[in-house]
Chain A
């Protein structure tokens, strides 16, 4: 009998935790996956999925009074509403601390599946413009990997989760193994063509989204029904989530033990062997403490929570936190600087409408600072996401009028408009960091996480550039810009928080090696967003998944070689 309870323990069941569990169990390992939140079963657990607004107490809008008291942060998330509120944390119960001068909106989902239930599903490869960014401008530490290291793992992940998208042959946004793309609507298609005619290097394309356009019957997943209510949970299994995709695969092996309501409070470390030995957790359902041992531990608690756990796992041997001999644990956190760059009226398409709620928008990939440094006060990139839409009944709130004519006027689809939201690269800075609060405890009596974060001149310059270019493109496409912003949303607004346990070549200046493995503990892997050394301007989840699959393969290889 093994001296360990499990071959591997995976902390977290979200986007990367599910991938770690799948890959490790499929490789033959006996795995324990711990999830801090409650159980949500696929299909039967999505209580509000099919409800109409009139079946909800507050018509789907939600109880603003409750939100002001208990969901002050989460309510600022666009996907948070009465249908989805149970898929987000209660902020009053799960406090964190913003350092003086910080307004970081930390959106969280503590439940089986984590934020894989509520994510935006946008799935983009990073390129060598991204993996080479730190080296190129000297900010942050160089990534120890490049695109070629990750490309086969992107292939594997895309193939399994199902990513619909259009190949465009762009070096800054490498093509992947796509399912057929969703369609651009009539206004987006015309705008694409007009932008390309004027700026051949700029490409408006359909969002690459983890929604199936072709069913994966072998996995029990149906094609997307174009409801665009994904964050409620999808009984069709049409978008990638832990529940729809990786968890069934891991469970199919018979080697997965899943525990929910398990808040991990510490990773144990043995200084004699320089290995982690297992984890301890609080069973919040029974209010008891439990522990298990394993040959390796994967941290997939979500970028900030993985770092939080490592800081809380300080020991006599590692007084600054687990695997923190470098002292950089918690530093260089990032989130994309995002803002609403432009809204434009798009006249001339009144004769057209659409049917169906396409669950993705469009993207205009980065075009700045590629082979030439042409940024205006910034050295990295920005890209846009958004789309064209027809106004609906809510436009009546902005219009004067009462009576039958007013009512009849709101019956038809409204004017077309186009929205572009910019996401700019966030420079990794040592001053943007996570620490343990000295004054506030979390729900379980552990020191709460404190976040110090601010965007700098580079991000602001990028968003100013993005605003000007958005206006130029939409105007050229025949639009009338009615507003645009260049100030970044609060940190966390992009919901792409990352960094804090960065990868690097040098153990003195980084936490993880090229296989997402701690320099200081050879059987500890951190494969969620905490490992990121730069932010790129693309959504990062696909890269997290690819790096998780890659790390799992490496871990299995080492285990088989007897190195663990």
Chain B
């Protein structure tokens, strides 16, 4: 049951922690969904802390809270466990360079958190979580730049994780209604408004979400 950096969570503990998290960050009625994270996909303590911090570095606190602060790390864990954005596709590991570990599930899909943990430690030449903020950010920035190199179209495991961080953040109440605008009942359609600097986009512009 043990793995590097801490023991694996069992489902009951994970649900308990999630319920606590829900109370802290105001995620409503969310606790039941954690029952859907199978034991094999439950993160270690270290991984859970890592993905929270990674989310916070990608979307940091500015005038509004960052992604880690609003529970995006746990959303990413849930999303990966359920294969959102195609993350159960067995093909994902193919994008990992030869010689770099690509931990997989029995169905061939990549264990993204295991991969990211190893990847960040590799780039940090040691314990990424123990480095200072600048070093952690630098390692992540290098990974991001590499993933989007060239025309940026090639698949890469980091893109999948970053995509889920964005989904988690901009569909959270803070990301969706404070960082961006949430307009559930516009009541009208204005076809040509000025778009001065500082205009905040609408998070529930569903056409943009689908096709943007």
Contacts and interface: CB of A to CB of B under 8 A. Distances in A.
Contacts, number: 212
B83 A65 contact: yes
Contacts of B58: 402-403, 406
Contacts of B166: 393-394, 396-397, 410
A68 B87 CA distance: 12
Interface in B145-182: 145, 147-148, 152, 159, 162-163, 166-168, 170-173, 176-177, 179-180, 182
Given A229-B206, A394-B212, A412-B199, A183 B32 contact: no
B28 interface: yes
B27 interface: yes
Interface residues of A, number: 65
B189 A226 contact: yes
Interface stretch (B113-121, B123-131, B136-144): B136-144
Nearest to B187: A225
A375 B182 CA distance: 46
Contacts of A152: none
Given A393-B203, A404-B62, A412-B201, A63 B159 contact: no
B88 A413 contact: no
A189 B179 CA distance: 30
B145 A400 contact: yes
Contacts of A400: 144-145, 147-148, 152
A58 B209 contact: no
B207 interface: yes
B182 A52 contact: yes
Contact of A389 (B66, B141, B204, B211): B211
A54 B212 contact: no
Interface in B71-112: 75, 78-79, 81-88
A440 B193 CA distance: 56
Interface in A62-80: 62-66, 68, 78
Given A78-B210, A406-B58, A411-B179, A61 B201 contact: no
9 contacts: A183-B191, A185-B191, A186-B192, A225-B185, A355-B188, A356-B190, A393-B203, A397-B159, A411-B201
Interface of B: 27-30, 32-33, 36, 57-60, 62, 66, 75, 78-79, 81-88, 137, 140-141, 144-145, 147-148, 152, 159, 162-163, 166-168, 170-173, 176-177, 179-180, 182-195, 197-212
Interface of A: 50, 52-55, 57-66, 68, 78, 182-186, 189, 225-229, 343, 350-358, 387, 389-404, 406-408, 410-414, 417, 419
